Amino acid sequence: MLLDVRNLGGKLGRPVSMTLAAGECLVISGPSGIGKSLLLRMIADLDENTGDARLNGRSRMAMPGPHWRRQVMYLAAESGWWAETVSAHMQPLPDAAAFLPRLGLRADVMDAPVSQLSTGERQRLAFIRAAIRKPAVMLLDEPTSALDPASTGLLEDEFSRLRQTGTGLIVVTHNADQAERIATRRLFMTRDGLSEAR
Amino acid sequence: MHPIALSPTDLAVGSSLIFLCALLSLLLSLGIHRTLLWAAARMVVQLLLIGFVLRFVFSVGSPWLTALVALVMAGATTYEVGARQDRRLTAGWHYGVGGGATVISTLIIVVLALTTALRPHPWYDARHALPLTGIILGGVMNSVSLSLNSLFNGAVRERAAIEARLALGDSRYAALRDLAAQSIRTALIPTINQMMAAGLITLPGIMTGQLLAGMDPVSSAKYQILLMFLLVGGNCCGAFAAVFLVLQRLTDKRDRLRLDRLHSARA
């Protein structure tokens, strides 16, 4: 099993367990405020939590937090930027440049100041920034919330490409149509925890 | 050295300036005469009181009494460092971090100065130790509170950027490095300004005091230079210690950002 989450608890109500196979796209939906983002953040070990998570059988407690997060990467719904230009965030830079046309972004966007980009552009660039670091699992929190239908389609194509290379995806989305299109498996989150799709 | 002794009459003449200001405020209804008189009265009482306390401490010559006075001064500084922050660390950490940074850096600098450059006999002689402690504490108070302010506000403002770096697999030190550097720079700007202006724009207080007390200008300049070095050292130490301690508290062993340990001071 690629990712094995066991009894993950803490600020979430009931502890949660789930598994994710290589190349799978698990979509989690549920009402707002139920803790879907928190769940993803806990899997990435960005918020305090109890329980365990294993990648290819190896517990995250066996490695420092940053090592775990480089392999199990969380992508927040609202992207954060720490340098002035886009390119300063991209590593390796050539891989990022190759990505741009596939997501409908201009080539010169790399030299643009982050503050001048639209929310939608920032959201796609944040995805690129994560994907080029080649994590084994990506935890995507509303990855297309600021995108028009065309850009959403392009990003969903990238999800399939990642799956073909064995990357596992866990996606939180409110968009039911999108869930239908991209999910290989679906989970619903309620106060009682996670349950398989009806 | 023949300091000119000030008589009560001399001070009374000086105080007429305060009354003049108060009178102006009254005539022009500026409304600050009460505050002005109160502040002047407090200043006179506080300074005379510390004069008598120091006279007593100097004459007793006990290292324990000296240490006690220094401790009270450090306690007051710790309180002031924490008092005017927009945000506070939870539990006792707020004063712990401010006080820790203040005491550590002041102790290092004062002991260093007393055992190397100044070398009074004995080295803990109150006449040297206490004024030195006061001067260093005053500087450290500013640099520690500026660095705390910049770091606390920065961590909240830059939360998304810091967490983005952590999520991409950067360590807590990498993710907070820019903010830490910026906080230390902010804390040291007044210190650097002070050095730049010394002698050119202002005659610093120590030197002015020594000149008025009849000391040779070059000797008093040397004293001022040494004290500037000590001040800068203390301010640097204080800012570094404060930033380091806060970083420990605002992150944890799993390299998470722990803003839950920081809350806003009541407005």
Residues 6+ apart with CB under 8 A from B60: none
Contact yes or no for A104/A144 (Cβ under 8 A): no
Asked if B167 and A69 come within 8 Å (Cβ–Cβ), the reply is: yes
- The DSSP result for B156-195, as a single string, is HHTHHHHHHHHHTT--HHHHHHHHHHHHHHHHHHHHHHHH
pLDDT truncated to tens, each residue of chain A (198 aa)?
899 999 998 887 788 999 999 999 999 999 998 999 999 999 999 999 999 999 999 999 999 999 999 999 999 999 999 999 999 999 999 999 999 999 999 999 999 999 999 999 999 999 999 999 999 999 999 999 999 999 999 999 999 999 999 999 999 999 999 999 999 999 999 888 888 865
B180 Cβ under 8 Å from any chain A Cβ: no
Instruction: List, in sequence order, every residue forming a beta bridge with A169; answer none if it has no partner.
Output: A25, A138
Cβ-based neighbours of B160, under 8 Å, separated by 6 or more: A76, A78, A79, A80, A81
Q: What is residue B266's predicted lDDT score, i.e. its pLDDT?
A: 61
Q: State how far residue B239 is from chain A, nearest Cα, in angstroms.
A: 23
Cβ contact B254–A45 (<8 Å): yes
Q: Using CA atoms, how far apart are residues A129 and B105, in angstroms rounded to an integer?
A: 41
SS3 A54: strand
Beta carbons of A70 and B168 less than 8 Å apart: yes
B window 214-253, beta carbon within 8 A of A:
252-253
Structure tokens of A20? 């994710």
Answer yes or no: is pLDDT of B91 > 90: no
- Residues A3-196: name the CATH superfamily: P-loop containing nucleotide triphosphate hydrolases (3.40.50.300)
Task: Name the residue of chain B whose CA is nearest to A69's CA.
Answer: B169
Bridge partners of A8? Answer: A16
- List Cβ neighbours of B26 (8 Å cut-off, separation of 6 or more): B33
B253 CB neighbours in chain A (<8 A) are 65
Residue with tokens 């000030």: B6
Cα–Cα distance measured from residue B25 to residue A20, given in angstroms and rounded to the nearest whole number:
77
Which range is least confidently modeled, A5-9, B23-27, B120-124, B144-148?
Answer: B120-124
Residues in chain A: 198
